[in-house]
Amino acid sequence: MLYNLVDNGIKYSPEGGEVRISVSREGKYVTFAVADQGIGIGPKDQRRLFRHFERLETFGREIEGIGLGLKVCQVLVEAHGGRVWCVSTPGAGSTFFFTLPTNEKIKG
């Protein structure tokens, strides 16, 4: 899951752009974030991100893929009890998040 999100971040960022990974623990979940400096995704397109074979506009850039990577990530994350989502603004990059539950039992 992490590999796919990092790979997408690299593909959709400009040459020399950065892809940043962060991890935090929130209660009984670990949250992973992958932030890129890409073209960003508008609200209408964000609703389409996790559909089978969905490819978004790349503004003339040739980007490899068949449109299954994010859907596979979603299925795997949800199968493990987590969730996946995106926060993005056109022209300002995107951050993809996913959570996974920890193995330890937390009181409270």
User: Domain residue spans in the chain?
Assistant: 2-101
Residue 58: what pLDDT?
52
Task: Give ∠ CA 30-11-54 in degrees, rounded to 5.
Answer: 80
User: Which CATH number is associated with domain 2-101?
Assistant: 3.30.565.10
Residue 46: what pLDDT?
77
Find all residues with CB under 8 Å of 36, minimum gap 6, and list them.
Answer: 8, 9, 10, 12, 13, 17, 18, 19, 20, 93, 94, 95
80-92 pLDDT, tens digit each: 999 999 999 888 8
15-63 pLDDT, tens digit each: 888 999 999 998 999 999 999 998 888 888 878 787 766 665 555 556 6
Higher-confidence residue of 70 and 32: namely: 32
